[in-house]
Structure 1
Amino acid sequence: MRTNEIPQPTEAELEILTVLWEQGTATVREVNDKLNERRTDGSKEIGYTTTLKLLQIMFAEKGLVTRNADARTHIYSAAMEQTDVQRNMLQRLVDTAFQGSAMQMVMQALGDHDASTEELQEIKALIEKVEKLRSL
């Protein structure tokens, strides 16, 4: 699947995908329980039927998850890698919010985020790696 063919998940769908990326596979109940465990900010609990409906849409309409229906309880897993979804979402963000400028996006992120020394070292190493690849 090419990057531009990856469906854009909603915020709620992305939360579900995150659970599936961490767990590998999960039932609706397991996904729902994990989602509610993460609600530490006092927000309203997510109902089981809401999670079920989202997973059904993600399976049947968007192809974001796969479903194993061999057993009585359906088992869901993410249909694509986390990095592929992240890459697609990031590209759309750069294209729409930053008029295609990755530099503007990085400058905004670094300006608004207090990056640790370790994070800055990783960013520098990544820049050096990209520069080496481009010089080949």
Structure 2
Amino acid sequence: MNKKKPSVDSNDPAEPTRAQLEILQVLWKNGPSTVRFVNDQLNLQKDSLSYTSTLKLMQIMHEKGMVHRDESSMTHIYSAALEEQRTRGVVLKKFVDTMYEGSVKSLMLELLGNEKTSNKDWDTIKHLLTKLDDEK
């Protein structure tokens, strides 16, 4: 059995696809898990996804170094190899670059102009902005 561990260059964080991100979110939320558990969690969120599709995707993610695989027992246990905050940052930066030409200001104006912003959200945002302003 090949126990070679894939390596991820810490300076070049992986950019997961949407499906890979959904798997990572299950692992970040629940910790190390079997493919069956991940597949069950994904099926709670959306239309039926076959076990073999989830398995294949997680095997590819392992080859790319996005997840670790513990092969010490008959049932393999997978855990996220990518840090949640860092991965979110990579995905968000790509989104802002693509959709808003890199303008955080445009993104924020779009978000703040959204009718779903509640009074509680506004209060939290104001508090955060005041805190950031005080730190400068």
Q: Which has the higher mean CA deviation after the structures are superposed, 15-24 or 89-98?
A: 89-98
Distance 2:130 2:82 in 1: 29
Give the TM-score, by structure 1 length. 0.85
Residues 58-106 of structure 1: CA distance to partner in whole angstroms, max 9, x if unpaired?
Answer: 1102x21111111111101111222111111111122222122111001
Distance 1:59 1:82 in 2: 16
1:53 to 45, 53, 56: 56
Q: Which has the higher mean CA deviation after the structures are superposed, 79-88 or 17-26?
A: 79-88
Distance 1:9 1:99 in 2: 21
1:6 to 1, 13, 16: 13
Residues 18-59 of structure 1: CA distance to partner in whole angstroms, max 9, x if unpaired?
Answer: 1111111100011011111222xxx3x100110001001111
* Amino acid in structure 2 at the alignment position of 1:47: S
Offset, 1:6: 1.4
1:105 to 94, 107, 121: 107
Give the TM-score, by structure 2 length. 0.85
Offset, 1:126: 2.0
Gap regions ≥5 residues in structure 1: none
CA shift in 2, pair 1:38/1:103, >3 Å = same
Distance 1:37 1:7 in 2: 26
Distance 2:45 2:97 in 1: 31
Offset, 1:127: 1.7
Question: 1:19 aligned to 2:19?
Answer: no
Q: Report how many residues are paired.
A: 127
CA shift in 2, pair 1:16/1:113, >3 Å = farther
